[in-house]
Structure 1
Amino acid sequence: MRIHNLISLSFLTAVIVTACTGGDQSNGLEALKAQYDFAVPDTASITKVIIRDKKPSSVVLERTANGWVVDGIHPVRKDAIEVLLKTVGEVRLKNFVTESAVPEIEQRMEVYGKWIEVFVGEQRVKSYIVGTETPDMLGTYYKMVGAELPFSVYIQGFNGYL
């Protein structure tokens, strides 16, 4: 009888500990997901995209009543904006990057990366760096501005890098 009580007490303790720490785990997972949630699924709500590089040169793509324009002047090619919006809307996590690869990937992102800012109305909803291709040429390295780690991303059903 005493062993049964000990087992029950151990089980109850394990349940309580799990319940108490479960919230911390989900908060940690949510914080991690925020670092690799690059997609803006509702691309129809996107009003502006700013693309910069290290030079520094930049372009501002804005949605107007007459379609998308570059730097407030030139119309954007329809096929080009469709590809950009599809990429912004469908990009997904492919792999986590190994710890040993992070310094090299970040260095390449600093040199070759494109800084992307996506706006809905006047609010910036995403800000990330698009880096170089992965070694298998089937993904691309992305990193949220201010995040700790880069991630390998892809678009499901697309073979190649973004």
Structure 2
Amino acid sequence: MKNLYIYFIIILVLILLLITANYNSSSQRIDKRDFAVEDTLLVNKIILENRNLEKLKLSRGEKNWILNDTIIANQYLINLLLKTIKEMQIKNPIARAALPNIIKRMATQNTKLDIYKKNKKIKTIYIAGETPDQLGTYMMIEGAKEPYVVHIPGFNGYLSSRFSCKENIWKSKRVFNKLIKKTTIKLNDNKSIHLSQSNILKLNKIYCESFLTSNKNFNVEVIKNRTPFITMIIENKDGTTEQLNCIRKKPVNKDKYNHHKYDRERFYAFKNNTLMLVQYKQFNYLMNSDSLNSYFMPWSK
């Protein structure tokens, strides 16, 4: 009877040790599987960096998020990024047979995500490409033993595109980001027009369609050296001065619009060494003036 009691105690101790070991192991595993950051309101800095040596920093300012310390960031994309960081979670582990190839792929192709709260780094995540069905994204927390397939419940798609390191993607598409004090429009016949205060306020509501960069079929230098049809001199309340050159654009569909010399929907805008594509309708309130309309859209006479 005494031996039976001793055996019972030994078995009980072993069970307790096994439960404790499993609990510790599970806690450690959960910690390395916890991709989401719940309270994104406290996140004040995000750094993205990839293997192509592209790196950008997003910082929370008093009124706006700031890209690389100087550029106002696109708030829609910031909100989408914070929502992604908050809601993403593991969809499933990676099959053992596929794990070596995925790890090898992540070693050469990944985006590093650093998340900061109160300027203290709280998490680093490595983000690779999408799964073959494009319904998940391979991710790995720094210090973890292996990557996982991550998704957002209810969203059918992959998440890697939300962590782009391309600076142009993160720029705010607002053409004018500062408070404007005075605006002078210089026309190509040496005439000048000063905008009223009510029209000046509307300039901050103008957005470009996209930012343009050079490639094998498009040269920004060629475009920006063209003679602008209108030049806007902007004097900001912080004492800085900016210049926006409005430049004609050739029609895209030459067969359909072969009788049009210029694109009648969009033009190029060049400011602060950045070339933008802007729709004429963004300046509709200016074109209500007959004198300006004849310069913006002479074909509408």
Name the TM-score, length of structure 2 as normaliser.
0.49
- Shift of residue 145, structure 1, vs aligned partner: 1.7
- Does the Cα contact within 8 Å between 1:114 and 1:129 map onto a contact in 2? yes
Measure how far apart 1:13 and its partner are: 4.5
Residue 114, structure 1, aligned to residue 111, structure 2: yes
Question: Is 1:105 matched up with 2:102?
Answer: yes
- Tell me the amino acid that sits aligned with residue 120 of structure 2: Q
Deviations 1:28-77 (A, max 9, x none): 11111122111101010101000000121200000010221110111111
Q: 2:158 is matched with which residue?
A: 161
1:53 aligns with 2:50: yes
Which residue type is aligned with residue 137 of structure 2? T
SS state at 1:56 partner: coil
Distance in 1, Cα, partners of 2:97 & 2:8: 39
Q: Secondary structure at the match of 1:61?
A: strand
Q: Distance in 2 between matches of 1:63 and 1:87?
A: 17
Amino acid paired to 2:138:
Y
CA distance in 1 between counterparts of 2:83 and 2:142 reads 21
Q: Secondary structure at the match of 1:100?
A: coil
Q: Which runs of 5+ in 1 are unaligned?
A: none
Structure 1 residue corresponding to 2:40, chosen from 29, 35, 43: 43
Higher relative contact order (CA 8 A, sep 6+): 1
Supply the AA of the counterpart residue of 2:113. I
* Partner SS for 1:87: helix
In the alignment, residue 19 of structure 1 is paired with which amino acid?
L
Equivalent residue letter for 1:106: I
Distance 2:28 2:132 in 1: 27
Q: Which one-letter code corresponds to 1:62 in the other structure?
A: S
1:114-137, CA deviations, whole angstroms, 9 ceiling, x for partnerless residues? Answer: 100000012111101011111221
Report what 1:26 is aligned to. Answer: 23
Instruction: Write the distance in 2 (CA, Å) between the matches of 1:147 and 1:85.
Output: 22
Q: Is the 8 A contact 1:54 1:110 kept in 2?
A: no
2:127 to 127, 130, 138: 130
After TM superposition, the structure 1 = structure 2 runs for residues 141-152 of structure 1, keeping only pairs within 5 Å, are 141-152=138-149
Give the letter aligned to residue 55 of structure 1: N
| Match among 90, 94, 116 for residue 93 of structure 1 | 90
Larger of the two Rg values belongs to structure: 2
* Letter matched to residue 27 of structure 2: E
Unaligned runs of 5+ in 2: 160-301
CA distance in 1, matches of 2:36, 2:7: 44
Q: Which has the higher helix share?
A: 1
**Secondary structure of the corresponding residue to residue 98 of structure 2:** helix
Q: Name the SS of the counterpart of 1:141 in structure 2.
A: strand
Kindly provide the amino acid, as one letter, of the partner of residue 35 in structure 2: F
Letter in 2 for 1:32: R
Structure 2 partner of 1:139: 136
Amino acid of the residue matched to residue 146 of structure 1? G
Q: Which moved more, 1:150-159 or 1:30-39?
A: 30-39
State the superposition RMSD in angstroms.
1.8
Contact 1:112 1:131 in 2 (8 A): yes
Equivalent residue, structure 2, for 1:16? 13
Aligned equivalents of 1:145 and 1:16: distance in 2? Answer: 35
Letter in 1 for 2:108: V
Letter in 2 for 1:17: L
1:66 to 63, 68, 74: 63
